[in-house]
């Protein structure tokens, strides 16, 4: 039974506390024994949760036999230092028992010269399998492909196929279907294991194979692959090249990784961070990455401040404006972020296109108008009582409505414009939106105040 996430996290933290205590006391043998009792995924979680000074020690204490399984569970940022420290022989040994797609993932992080050395040291069969998918980008179906698929010919009977399968010591993970190909390895269809086991052994594969499942083309984007798996509840899917020749298959575990990476990208991108950001990365590596976006944010803040400066005389006359300004900007920022998040998520899921974008925009503007009127009345009443000035209530309410409508419009349009320009909306959308809502909010509020109190 699947363990609750909290229980897994608590166990990892308990193990981490024990390991750190033993490392600090110098009892390395006890740590080594503890690591032997853990599965590769648990050791990887322990490494990812450890500060850098402990990681190298834990890696050296782990068994060399399972290091390949450990490394494939680690994020790229944590993998890299370990891989760069290995020689060619160690890298070949590391990749020996890994699936071809995992080997490709590792090789793509290494310099070209090192990659060629590792390939040269592999057996001819392993090298051919890896090279068949190494030329594809890691963010495509080809980059996700595993070459361990079991293939059969359509002319064989099910009895022959069953004998063939029994010759294998075990089936590849996530095998739910055999792939039917012709003599030149062109994809023809699928033979589900359930169909194989429940039909007359004398029937041929051609008679019962499924031919209505289209294969995935190797050049398809990994996000589109994930959508297909989600839509059809697939466990695995065949992958072909541009000539229809079978390359291998994609399995659900790799698709889950794509979904998780996309979620990380969206979450970290909204803060201007790399999705591969290591939680315990050294200060010298983390500081420059964050400094860039802090600098961008500073520029946008200066733009907003320059708008305020235009109305300095009005603020000097009516001190209440300085008190209420942050409310207008804050409400616009929150409303815009809500729309921005909904739109970016819809884009990621493939729900937003030219046929429905106008309806979405209309809906968001209506929501913003209703919320703007409601909260304008609330804050107008509060401001009127607070400062005993009905004019300030009208100004604040009108500015809030204007900024909430602007925020809804910007939150819907900005990600679409950024995507059209080839810029990642998750990365640049938040900063752009904040600039728009701050500038419009301050300008509307102070501009109206200037008209009323001129």
pLDDT digits (tens, 9 = 90+) for 239-273: 999 899 999 999 998 898 888 777 666 666 655 55
Strands of 284-365 (E only): list them.
none
What pLDDT does 1 receive?
Answer: 43
Provide the terminal-to-terminal Cα distance of the chain, rounded to the nearest Å.
71
Does a structural domain hold residue 14?
yes
Residue where a domain stops, chosen among 52, 74, 96: 74
Average pLDDT, whole number, for the chain? 84
Sheet holding 187-192, edge to edge: 151-152, 177-181, 187-192
User: Is the model's pLDDT at 161 over the cut of 90?
Assistant: yes
User: Model's pTM, two decimal places?
Assistant: 0.64
Position with higher pLDDT, 425 vs 180:
180
The mean pLDDT of 341-354, rounded to a whole number, is 79
Same domain, 302 and 230: no
Same domain, 49 and 185: no
Q: What confidence category does residue 2 fall into, taking pLDDT thresholds of 50, 70 and 90?
A: very low
- Provide the domain count of the chain: 3
Residue-number span of the structural domain to which 190 is assigned: 151-269
Same domain, 304 and 401: yes
Other beta carbons less than 10 A from residue 202's beta carbon? 9
Residues in the chain: 454
The pair of structure tokens assigned to 93 is 């040994």
Nearest to 345 by CA among 366, 367, 360, 325: 360
Distance of CA 340 to the CA centre of its chain: 17
* CB of 384 closer than 8 Å to CB of 356: no
Does a structural domain hold residue 144?
no
Can you tell me the distance from the alpha carbon of 259 to that of 227, in angstroms, rounded to the nearest whole number? Answer: 9
Does a structural domain hold residue 159?
yes
């Amino acid at each position: 039974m699947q363990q609750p996430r909290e229980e897994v996290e608590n166990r990892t933290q308990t193990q981490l506390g024990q390991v750190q205590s033993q490392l600090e006391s110098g009892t390395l043998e006890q740590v080594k024994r503890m690591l032997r009792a853990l599965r590769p995924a648990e050791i990887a979680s322990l490494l990812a949760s450890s500060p850098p000074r402990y990681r190298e020690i834990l890696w050296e204490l782990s068994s060399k036999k399972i290091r390949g399984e450990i490394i494939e569970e680690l994020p790229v940022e944590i993998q890299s230092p370990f891989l760069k420290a290995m020689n060619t022989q160690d890298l070949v040994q590391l990749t020996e028992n890994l699936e071809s797609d995992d080997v490709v993932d590792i090789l793509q992080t290494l310099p070209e010269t090192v990659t060629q050395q590792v390939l040269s040291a592999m057996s001819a069969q392993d090298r051919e399998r890896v090279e068949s998918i190494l030329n594809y980008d890691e963010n495509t179906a080809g980059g996700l492909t595993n070459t361990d698929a079991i293939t059969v010919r359509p002319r064989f009977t099910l009895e022959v196929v069953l004998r063939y399968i029994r010759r294998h010591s075990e089936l590849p993970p996530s095998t739910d279907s055999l792939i039917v190909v012709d003599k030149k390895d062109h994809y023809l269809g699928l033979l589900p294991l359930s169909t194989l086991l429940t039909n007359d052994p004398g029937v041929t594969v051609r008679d019962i194979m499924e031919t209505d499942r289209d294969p995935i083309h190797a050049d398809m984007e990994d996000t589109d692959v994930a959508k297909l798996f989600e839509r059809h509840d697939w466990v695995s899917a065949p992958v072909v090249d541009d000539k229809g020749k079978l390359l291998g298959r994609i399995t659900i575990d790799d698709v889950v990784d794509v979904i998780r990476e996309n979620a990380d990208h969206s979450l970290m991108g909204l803060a201007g961070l790399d999705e591969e950001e290591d939680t315990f990365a050294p200060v010298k590596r983390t500081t420059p990455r964050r400094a860039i976006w802090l600098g961008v944010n500073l520029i946008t803040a200066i733009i907003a401040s320059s708008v305020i400066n235009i109305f300095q005389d009005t603020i000097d006359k009516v001190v209440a404006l300085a008190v209420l300004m942050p409310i207008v900007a804050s409400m616009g920022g929150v409303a815009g972020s809500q729309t921005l998040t909904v739109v970016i998520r819809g884009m990621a899921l493939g729900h937003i296109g030219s046929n429905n974008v106008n309806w979405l925009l209309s809906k968001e503007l209506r929501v913003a108008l209703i919320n703007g009127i409601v909260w304008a009345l609330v804050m107008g009443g509060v401001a009127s009582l607070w400062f005993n000035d009905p004019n300030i209530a009208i100004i604040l309410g009108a500015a809030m409505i204007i900024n909430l409508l602007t925020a809804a419009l910007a939150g819907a349009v900005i990600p679409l414009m950024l995507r059209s320009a080839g810029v990642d909306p998750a990365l640049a959308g938040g900063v752009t939106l904040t600039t728009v809502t701050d500038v419009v909010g301050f300008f509307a509020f102070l501009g109206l105040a200037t008209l009323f109190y001129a």
